[in-house]
Structure formats: C-alpha cells, structure tokens
A and B are shown apart, each in its own frame.
Chain A
Amino acid sequence: MEKAVIDELVTIFGQSNVLTDREDMIAYSYDAAPVEVEPEAVVFPTTTEQVSRLMKLAYRVEVPVTPRGQGSGLSGGSIPLKKGIVLCMDRMTKVIEFDPANRLISVEAGLTTSDIDPIAAEAGLFYPPDPGSVAFSTIGGNVAENAGGLRGLKYGVTKDYVKMLTVVLPQGDIVKLGSKCVKHVAGFNTELMFVGSEGLLGIITEVTLALLPIPKHRESALAIFNTLDDAAQTVSDIIAAGVTPSTMEFMDNATLNAIQNFKDCGLPRDAEAVLLIETDGEEHSAKAEMVIVQSQVEKNNSRDFKIAQSTEERDKLFAGRRVALNALASVRPNLILEDATVKRSVLPEMVRGIIAIAQKYNIQVGIFGHAGDGNLHPTFLIDQKDKEEMARCHKAVDELFQLAIDLDGTISGEHGIGLEKKPYLENQIGAAGIKILQDFKRMFDPKNLLNPGKMFDMPGESA
C-alpha cells in the first residue's frame, strides 16, 4: 500500500490504531474459517466519524476495506480476500444508553455480546440470542451475520432484536436506520437489510437492541432414545402439543461416544440420540410445560427421562453438551463444523442423510445441534494434512448442502455464506436470487470495495 495512504490512515486513526507490520498482518489474516489472506493495513476506529473518513478515503484511492469484529466467524466473512485494509471494530465497545423502561440497550458495534447481559440483568432483563461464540464475538458481527444460538426456537435470532442501527455506507455517508418504537412503518425496513449483510453493504457502528425480562424459572431435562425417529418425532410432538421449549438440543450416537471417551458425563454409549430440553417462564408454567414434554417423550418410547431437581443436577445433565465440541475435536486432529438447517419435521431424514453421506465418503461425523429449530451441526472429523481425506470431505460437504436444499432447508442456519459457502449459494437461491443480491450490492457499493468477493461474485468476477 502506498505510503501516502498509510499516512492518511494515521491522520484519521492515530499511530497506535494503525498496523502495517508483517507480523500484525499475519495476525489479521484469518478468522475461524480455514482461509487466510494477509491485508496491507489494519485500523482500529473508536468513532463512527473515523469509519466514515476511512470509507471516503477508500473510495478516493480505490482500496478494498474488510470489516471485522473479533474474527470468530465460521464462514470467512472477515478475511481480507482482496487485501487492502482490515477495519477492526473491536475497540468501539462503549455502552451508549441502557433504557430499561423501554427494554432497550444501545451499544457500539465492537462490544462483546456477552457483555450486554450483566448490564441488562441489573434491571432484570436479558439479550436472548446466544451464539456459541457469545463470549468472544462482537454484537456488530452478530448483527452482520444474523447470529443464532441455542434458544432460537423460542426466542428467535439476532434479527428479531435489532431495533436501530447506525451504519456507515460504503461511500462514507452515515445513516441511522430503524426506530426505538415497538411499531414503526416510516419507510422501508432498512435496518433489517443490514442484518445478515456480512459486511457487504455498510459498516454497522452502533446497535440498539430489544431486551426481554429474564425468565423467573427454568426446568431442565434429559431424554434418551433408542432410535433417531423416536427422538425426532418427540421434537415434533412437543411442539404440536403447544409447548415451545427454550432449548431442545440434540446429540447423536457418535457425539455421545466422543463425549464419553473424552470425559465421563454419564451418557449412554448405545443410545441413538439424546435430547436436552428446557422450558422457562413463571415457575408454574415452566413446570406445567415440562409435564407435557415428559408425556410426549414417554409416548415416543424414550429409554430414560430425567428432570434436574437442582442447579447441580442441571449442570450434570448439560455437562456432556457443554464439552461436545471439545470431545469431537479430540477425536481427530481437525474438524469442519457445518450448520445446514432444515425444517424440524424432516430432522430424521437429515440426520440419516448426513450419516449416509459420511459413510459413503468414509469420513467420521458427529451430529449435534439445535433440534427445535432444525439447525444441526454436522461435524466432520478429519486430518487436514491428509489431502486425500480432505478431498473426500469436500465432496461430503457438497452433498450435505445439496441434501439440505433438497429437503427444502438452507445451506447455512447461522454461520453465514462468506467464502466458505459462496459456491453453493446459487444452488439454493437460484440465478435470480444472486442477481438481486448483486443489484443491492451495486447500489450501495458501485466500486465493489467493501468486503469484496464474499457471498457471491459480481458480474465479470470469478472466484
């Protein structure tokens, strides 16, 4: 990058907020996806104004800019594919306003998502979306990826809580979108256009989120099944019976065995599936819902059903789920964690399909995930150094995505498209779907400088 551009960056951000050393470029060349590209500079804004000045500079000198939070994304969304500047938002961490009367909180985009709850809790409120990375991802990143989590079935995902955004558009304009009102119909729902935009349309610098009252009580239970179909049928039956559990986590036989090999959590090695189920709300309603859950579980030939009677018992029931990823990670040197999602009614087909694909390509797989919302995490256990195995794994992943599409599902429930799933997006949304994305992108970013090369290619570009 030209020295004159670097000098301008230093003028905007100050010397200590601009990195250009090779070692620093290495440290900002990756996120949690298996891709790396070294940028030419990394900058750390502390104000929206600085972000705006950066984008004006980028548009003038035509340098690509890639926004980044904490770099925990699983789809490569923050990789500076076309080099240029990495715009690292993780120093914009101020809480702007906590407004318990309206159950709202306004924060800067670089705040770590789990830092919201201690503040909200002072007024008995909480922020429901809880992606696995909640303690090491920024709220801006969560909004840009429309992050999900364990409680999606009952509480929805990030998009359900975004009220207002401050966004710097690619050419440097600062806009405030949305409203703090419960109802507002003044103009398009533009704030939602940026939720899940993966940093392609603008840079989110401030977020106003809706909060909910903390449920007074939770009931937790573990149900063990001898067949996948029984477990899946139970999921459907519980919902059909009118209960919306706050959590309904699924683990398959391979995951159970990986957990037991890793640490004895008292899980049965020969069960085909377990469900971890939680209901919450007022004590009487959480308990009443759990009674319905129990009847549905038992109706479906469950082998065992345990309701936790204390916090310690609850922790014990969840011990296995908490270490599931660690346990799977210890089986082979590396793993590939996917998030293909289907309607919960076709969960058994999906699970059986994944197992068949893994067998076909001779790849170890463990499946766990959020059964209530059909968001599974098939986890392929591999050794990246084994090129032949990697090739087989890629084929398995290809088939997995096609399976999800064939079952009327989606290739990504919560990780985003980024680089990792870019080749598969057209299979799901079609050429017309890609074209409308391209049109939006061109409207906001005619020079294609903001996070270029992600999610889809612009016409004339190729991967």
Chain B
Amino acid sequence: MSTYIKTQQQLAEEHLLEAAKEFEKCMKCGKCRSVCPVFKEFGNELYVARGKNKLAEKIVSGDLQITDKLEQAINECLNCKTCSANCPAGVSPEHVVLRLRWYITTQKGLHYFKALIFRQLLWRKWPITIGCAVVALAQRLLFGIGPKNPVRHLFPLFGFAKRRNFPQLALRSAQSMYPEVNRSKTGETKMRIGYFTGCAGNLIYTNVAKSVVDILTGYGYEVVIPKKQKCNGTPVMANGDYEGARRLMQHNFDLFRKYDLDAIVVACSSCGMSLKKEIKVFVEDSPELQEFTGKVWDINEFIDKNIEIKPEDLGPLPYKVTYHDPCHMVRGQGIKEQPRNILKQIPGVEFKEMKNADTCCGSAGSYCITHYETSIKINDHKIKDIQDAGVDIVATGCPTCVMHIDDNLAQHHSNEKAKFVIELLADSLRAKGTVIR
C-alpha cells in the first residue's frame, strides 16, 4: 500500500488548504460572470466562480457550515475551465469546487449509491461490462428507443430524464474484441503504444477504438490494450469521491507502467486530461509519474505530430464538417488546431468553423445525468451554433460531448450528426483502402 493514503482528517485539512490557495487569489472582479455557462442559465451570483470562491472562504473560516444549498451550489459546476482560462488573477475555481466536493465527502461520507458505483462496480469493472452488454441487447430488442417508446417511462428509475436519447451501447466491448497486443501492419514497428480506451471507447463508441487501432497499426505502430485498465477516475472525483478516484488512478498508473510503452494514447478528452494532469493530484509525485504523464497523448495530437498522412492515403468524404472543442481538450490540454488540421486534410470535407466552438456543450460527463434540464439549456446554444454553421457533421474528440450533442440534435429534429475526428479520418483512409484495408 502506498504511503499516499491519508486519514479522513488529514484529507479534510488538505482539501481546505488547497482550496484556499486558489480562492485567496480571487480579486472578485466579476469577469467570470461574463463567461460561466452555468451562471448564464441561473443568473444568481451563488453559481458563478466568484460566489463559489466566497462560499469556500466561508467554509474554511468556519463562518458557514455544509448546507444543502451549499452542496447544490458546489455541484452546479461543469468543470469546463472557462472561468480559469479567463481569470485575470489566475484562479482555478474548478479546483476550489472539486476540493470542496471532496471535503464534503470527508465530513458527510459518500452517498451509498455513489459508493456502490465508484468503489464497487467501476473498480470491479465486470459488472459494468456485463450490464452494458445487457442494456445493448435490450436496446436492440426494443427496436431503438424512439420518442414515443413506452420504455422511456422506466428512465427516471435509473436517474435519467424521460426525453433523453441514448447512444447505442456495444454488444461486445472493444477490449474483448481486440487482443492485448495488436501488431503493426507495415512490417516495421515505429513505437509501442498503450491505448487507454476509456469506458466510452470500450463500451459505447467501439468504432472509435477500431479507428484508433486501425490507424495506428496501419501506420506502423504496435498498439497494446492492457486488459485490466479501469475507469480513469474523472466521474468519480467529479462526484466527490477522492479516495475512489485515487485508487483508480493509482491502478492505471501501476498497470500501464508494466508494459514498457513508448507512448500512451487516449481518444477521450477527459481521460487525456486526467492521465496527463489530474493524476498528479492523486498519485504521489515521482520521476516515474513524470515519465508516465509525459508519455500521454490525445490521439489527435499524436497523429498531427507523429504521423505523416499522405494525400494519396486518403479517400474523399462528401461532408460539410465543423469542430466542437471539448473543454478538457481545448482548455484542459491546450489542443485546438490539431483536430482541425486532421479534418482539413480529408479530401471532400468542407471545413466550416462554427461560432463559439470552444464553449461548453453542457454535457460535463455525469453533470448531464444529475442536472439534465440545465445541461440541455446550455446545450441549446451549441445546437444553434451548429445549425447556423450549415454542416452535416459536428466533429469532436469527447464521448460525452458526442452523446449530449446527438441527444439534443435529435430533440431539435436536426439532421446533423456528432462524430469523432478520428472516425472521420479512419473512414477516409478506408475509402482509399491503402493504409486501412
């Protein structure tokens, strides 16, 4: 066991101390009011970064106790980092929010339902994998869940809004479809790359996993998919479970280090941010950790930097495409141009920049489960920008963005589809048939 495990008391103190380091820098200028997507919907100072900083200050000074309203305010945050990206004083309010959520858990314990999911099901993993396969089967038997399907009345039992549209889950997980080691298809092996699929890439968007494996092996890389990889911990830590997230991050860190990898790629914006950056909050700093985080690449970033895609490798795709910047890519990892570069290379694709491409789509992972109505209101602005762009496809690099945008496009009876950049690239390569056959 790592010496990094601390008592609840130590953790509580640490969370408050770390929160204080951030909110003490706040000049209270109010600039966050002009950028916060949640504040735009509520119009109450309590829900903007400045208000949350002040609440945190009151908690630390002992002037305010943990109340339902405080918890509610603290939970109204997308972790979209728009406030921190725009803060003149360099405050990261999302860290104040996360620390407060973790602190509240040290004082009140973790809700039994969250504990079940984060500490049992996600940790053991197989119940999730089997559960998803069962749901996938049910989805197919029910012939898709259209707007009038009576099955919708069951959604609220599982905490989902009745009008929500779900993506089709995969019958077979990506990790079970592929062997652990996928050899290069070119004869040479340029690098040995670990692929962190993420839950969505493994259980829902398996075509993303297929695209990653096909492209990398097709361009001479060996792709290793460690079977024992688990959730990266993002939803766990976002929901207040510091300990649960720490255990998952430590597990993945220890696991991937066993494989002697040259690089680790991810095709999910939040997994990427967590493996590059957030892991440093949970796993004790060491040269090994530095080496690990330095090896992590988002797939778009990896391809743009390392793979020379020749025009003759690509077949045409007849789409007008725009790109939506996931928060955890553009602000979380500073990845902005790379996915656009890839899209612009594809022959036949007409790339059109939409307005407000980098504003949050409101999904924010589990926020759109727990705060569906607000998350849809935030997403409505995104839908309008997509419609105004006049495109067939909105490409992006984050599964929960795809899920949320697709859901709301359907609710608007809009014909655009959300897709991953990497899927479009794989489609183009397949259309030509030289690199991916």
Q: Taking A133-B29, A326-B88, A329-B25 as contacts, is the C-beta distance between A27 and B51 under 8 angstroms?
A: yes
**Cβ–Cβ < 8 Å partners of A114 in chain B:** 34
Is B294 in contact with chain A by the CB < 8 A criterion?
A: no
- Interface check A23, CB cutoff 8 A: yes
Q: Which of A28-36, A163-171, A294-302, A441-449 contacts B (4 or more CB under 8 A)?
A: A28-36
- Report which of B24, B27, B32, B69 forms a contact with A21, defined as CB distance below 8 A: B69
25 A–B contacts from the bound complex (CB under 8 Å): A19-B44, A23-B55, A23-B64, A23-B67, A23-B73, A24-B44, A26-B64, A31-B30, A32-B27, A32-B29, A70-B30, A72-B29, A112-B34, A135-B34, A136-B33, A137-B30, A325-B88, A326-B88, A329-B89, A329-B90, A333-B24, A334-B24, A334-B25, A334-B27, A335-B27
Are A27 and B88 in touch, CB under 8 angstroms? no
Q: Which residues of A contact B (CB under 8 A)?
A: 19, 21-24, 26-34, 36, 44, 70-72, 90-91, 112, 114, 133, 135-137, 325-326, 329-330, 333-335, 384-385
**Residue among A21, A28, A325, A334 making CB contact with B45, cutoff 8 Å:** A28
How many residues of B sit at the interface, in one of the four size bands? 20 to 34
* Residues of B in contact with A (beta carbons under 8 Å apart): 24-25, 27-34, 43-46, 51, 54-55, 58, 64, 67, 69-70, 73, 88-90
Expressed in whole angstroms, the Cα–Cα distance for A101 and B89 within the complex equals 42
The answer to whether B27 and A23 touch across the interface, beta carbons within 8 angstroms, is: no
Shortest A67–chain B CB gap in Å is 15
Contact (Cβ within 8 A) B44 A27: yes
B34 and A136 contact, CB distance less than 8 A: yes
Q: B114 → chain A, closest Cβ, in Å?
A: 23
With A30-B28, A329-B89, A333-B24 given, is the CB distance from A23 to B46 under 8 Å? yes
Complex Cα gap A70–B50 (Å): 12
State whether A23 touches B70 (Cβ < 8 A).
yes
Contact A24 B46 (CB under 8 A): yes
> Across the interface, which residues of B come within 8 angstroms of A26, CB to CB?
46, 51, 54-55, 58, 64
A27-B90 in contact given A91-B43, A333-B24 (Cβ < 8 Å): no
Q: For the complex formed, measure the closest distance between the CB of B81 and the CB atoms of chain A, giving whole angstroms.
A: 16
- CB pair A136–B30 under 8 Å, yes or no, is yes
- Residues on A with beta carbons closer than 8 Å to the beta carbon of B89: 326, 329
Complex Cα spacing A112 to B46, Å? 19
Contacting residues, chain B, for A32 (C-beta < 8 A): 27-30
Residue of A nearest to B67 (CB): A23
Find chain A residues with CB under 8 A from B64 CB: 22-23, 26
Determine the residue in chain B with the shortest Cβ distance to A383: B24
Q: How far is the CB of A166 from chain B (nearest CB, A)?
A: 22
Contact A31 B28 (CB under 8 A): yes
A126 CA to B116 CA, complexed, in Å: 57
Shortest distance between the CB of B138 and any CB in chain A (Å): 40
A90–B54 touching, CB < 8 Å: no
Residue of A nearest to B87 (CB): A326
Roughly how many angstroms separate A23 CA and B63 CA in the complex, as a whole number? Answer: 11
Q: A136-B31, A326-B89, A329-B27 are in contact. Are A30 and B44 (CB under 8 A)?
A: no
**Bound CA–CA A16/B148 (angstroms):** 33
Residues from chain B with a CB closer than 8 A to the CB of A133 are: 29-31
